[in-house]
Amino acid sequence: MKRIISLLLFVFACGASREGANDAAARYSISPRIEAGDVERLKDQAGPYEQALRKRAAQITASLPLEKKVGQIIHVGLYGKTASSSIEDVIKRYHPGGVILFAANIGRSAEVKKLNADLQKMSLAHTGIPLLISIDQEGGRVIRVSEGVTDFPGMMALGQSGDPRLAYVTGFVTARELRALGFNFLFAPVLDVNNNPDNPVINTRSPGSDPALVSDIGTAYMLGAMDARSLPTIKHFPGHGDTNTDSHYALPVIRRTEAQLHEVELPPFKKAIDAGAPAVMVAHILFEQLDGKNPSTLSPAIVDGLLRKKLGFKGIVITDAMEMKAVADRYPMGEAAVKAVKAGVDITLLTAQSDHIRQIHERLMLAVANKEIDEAAIDAAVERQIFEKLKNGTGDALWTGEGLLQKADEAETTLLREYEELLEKRAVALEAAMQAEFGEHPDRAILFKAVRSLRRDFPGAGSPSKLFVFYRSRAVKEEALAVGVPPSQVLPLFNVRQLWIRADQAAYRGNWIVELTEGDIAAWNSLSYRAGKRTVVGLLPGSPFLPFRITDHAFVLCTFAPQREGLRAMMRRSLGAVPATTVKLKEQKG
């Protein structure tokens, strides 16, 4: 973790308790130092706190005019890295409930924090309600913020680590670091079961191909993020893992029956929902056996029927980006939003600052006026958001909504403030406990455990003294020397093709370790034929779905993520046995 925390702040007086402050932390063996009295208050006041949040959310929602309530259902993107007058005009005119930031909006840490703070000030000034400020920060290849946060690998690395405890830590640290920058809405974790190796959009974003593993890793991550006092979002319901089409560009079609979905795609969502999932993102996919007409985002059978009624989900439902071609190429934007809300969606997500905001706002207002949408449905959607805004605040401050109430209950406000202080004290203590165990780099523990061999078990490269290591990065060079490979046998690699000739040269007898990139497929596959009886092992910091050839003597180790720390992990792990990945891969040809 990047923030240095003085552990002295958490050494309490005699009698302090080391018992888990909540079920999730105890389940994953994280033991924060919290005073025994605070532990009891957290437990005893949880019920009254929840009741107070729901009561106040209902009161605030009832106080809002329709145009503000409709605005809350729309979340928007923005241009640039500052809170400009143009986004202020959008907030003032349309009252959006949230803003999503992408890499193009992200500057240095101080700039991001100021942007988010300015956006919150604008929203509070013009609507009286804070924003849910969201970001896709899944780890691995989906990272928007890179400064001031831990560079975690993605969900597939977590899945291959097989360690829900590390997933809990990852969810907590990710959400906590983002919260410090002003983000209170996290679009993670991915709970898709990647059971189609041709999937172009999910692949390494998924924990794996086994529903039980995805369930355990995804739920642990979610609970960690919740304990960090953020709003995590499980996605992409009801499952995007069995597609070979990217919904950004076209409408994927899945023909599985509901019974089949209950066997593979739905168990991770069910487990997370049963554990208290606060938000679900719905995918733009046509599930022909459930609704042969509407993409899942716009389907009452899937959102209201399957998600809410059959799985019992009571939290926030948000669409995937409405501009994605799976929806945008088939419906006018306003009509799509109406269909989504009628299906049971609470938030329509726009990723740009465009005229789509006006179109959706005007069309939803008209739909309520024409009785296409019952205003009670709007109220329910807004109330769910207000509940989370009261619970999670603006990212760095509590919001009690008193300015929107004619007369606020002072005792209720006191309860909200005091319980918020307890929650923050617990989160800070959890942060300290994790830092004491993992230091600044919990990502390293994940990457080390995540290393797997593609297609078959790897027996190990053998004695370092007899190895040749061909490196491209300083990380592999340093690790090779650190484990005892002779300096004369640690050699720079410019192109895998240069090894074809060396394969026949006596000077290079011995086993080889070769640092790979995803562009080395053809050269590696040729090398696999030329390697002879020596063991050649490639170190691949990326996707396991590429057609690297594996033989009895040519192996590839993988970390399922592009993070450079994974190279160090693979170099160290290559000396010993490494089990084969459980991820479903394409059949090897030749």
Q: What is the pLDDT of residue 13?
A: 29
Q: What is the pLDDT of residue 31?
A: 87
Q: What is the pLDDT of residue 495?
A: 94
How much is the pTM? Answer: 0.94
DSSP structure class, residue 186:
E
CA 272 – CA 17 distance, rounded (Å): 29
Of 244, 243, 198, 189, residue with least CA distance to 218: 189
Q: pLDDT tens, 443-493? A: 999 999 999 999 999 999 999 999 999 999 999 999 999 999 999 999 999
Highest mean pLDDT: which range of 120-134, 398-412, 528-542: 120-134
Tell whether the model's pLDDT for residue 292 goes beyond 50.
Answer: yes
CA 253 – CA 265 distance, rounded (Å): 14
Q: How confident is the model at residue 321 (pLDDT cuts 50, 70, 90)?
A: very high
Looking at per-residue confidence, does 566 or 588 come out higher?
Answer: 566
Extract the tokens encoding 68.
């503000």
Query: Do residues 224 and 245 lie in contact, with contact meaning Cβ atoms separated by under 8 Å?
Result: no
Residues 6+ apart with CB under 8 A from 438: 1, 169, 445
Catalytic residues: 248, 320
Tell whether the model's pLDDT for residue 10 goes beyond 90.
Answer: no
Residues 6+ apart with CB under 8 A from 268: 191, 192, 193, 211, 214, 215, 218, 219, 234
Burial class (CB in 10 A: 0-12, 13-18, 19+), 47: exposed
Q: 279-282 and 316-319: which strand pairing?
A: parallel
Q: How confident is the model at residue 395 (pLDDT cuts 50, 70, 90)?
A: confident
Count CB-CB contacts under 10 A for residue 179: 22
Query: Do residues 391 and 51 lie in contact, with contact meaning Cβ atoms separated by under 8 Å?
Result: no
Count CB-CB contacts under 10 A for residue 109: 17
Highest mean pLDDT: which range of 213-217, 390-394, 532-536: 213-217
Q: What is the pLDDT of residue 1?
A: 53
pLDDT average, residue stretch 209-229: 97
Q: pLDDT tens, 51-74? A: 999 999 999 999 999 999 999 999
Extract the tokens encoding 469.
């290591």
Burial class (CB in 10 A: 0-12, 13-18, 19+), 156: buried
Q: What is the pLDDT of residue 590?
A: 67
Q: pLDDT tens, 96-115? A: 999 999 999 999 999 999 99
Q: What is the pLDDT of residue 14?
A: 31
Q: What is the pLDDT of residue 286?
A: 95
State whether residue 304 is helix, strand or coil: helix
Tell whether the model's pLDDT for residue 398 goes beyond 70.
Answer: yes
Q: What is the pLDDT of residue 244?
A: 84
Q: pLDDT tens, 164-191? A: 999 999 999 999 999 999 999 999 999 9
Tell whether the model's pLDDT for residue 15 goes beyond 80.
Answer: no
How high does pLDDT run on average in the chain? 93
Question: What percent of the chain has a predicted confidence (pLDDT) above 70?
Answer: 96
Residue 248, CA atoms < 13 Å, CB-side half-sphere: 6
Tell whether the model's pLDDT for residue 4 goes beyond 60.
Answer: no
State whether residue 581 is helix, strand or coil: coil
- What are the distances in angstroms from CA 309 to CA 300, 301, 304, 305, 314? 11, 10, 6, 5, 9
Q: pLDDT tens, 340-371? A: 999 999 999 999 999 999 999 999 999 999 99
Would you mind telling me the total number of residues written for the chain in this entry? 590
Question: What percent of the chain has a predicted confidence (pLDDT) above 90?
Answer: 88
In the chain the domains, ranked by start, together with CATH numbers, are 20-449 (3.20.20.300), 463-575 (3.40.50)
Looking at per-residue confidence, does 152 or 395 come out higher?
Answer: 152
Tell whether the model's pLDDT for residue 17 goes beyond 70.
Answer: no
CA distance from start to end of the chain? 45
Count CB-CB contacts under 10 A for residue 589: 6
Q: pLDDT tens, 73-98? A: 999 999 999 999 999 999 999 999 99
Residue 537: strand pairing partners: 513, 555
Tell whether the model's pLDDT for residue 7 goes beyond 80.
Answer: no
Tell whether the model's pLDDT for residue 330 goes beyond 90.
Answer: yes
Q: What is the pLDDT of residue 3?
A: 42
Query: Do residues 196 and 127 lie in contact, with contact meaning Cβ atoms separated by under 8 Å?
Result: no
Of 268, 211, 201, residue with least CA distance to 240: 201
Q: What is the pLDDT of residue 440?
A: 87
Q: How confident is the model at residue 22 (pLDDT cuts 50, 70, 90)?
A: low
Tell whether the model's pLDDT for residue 11 goes beyond 70.
Answer: no
- What is the three-state SS of 252-308? CEECCCHHHHHHCCHHHHHHHHHCCCCEEEECCCEECCCCCCCCHHHCHHHHHHHHH
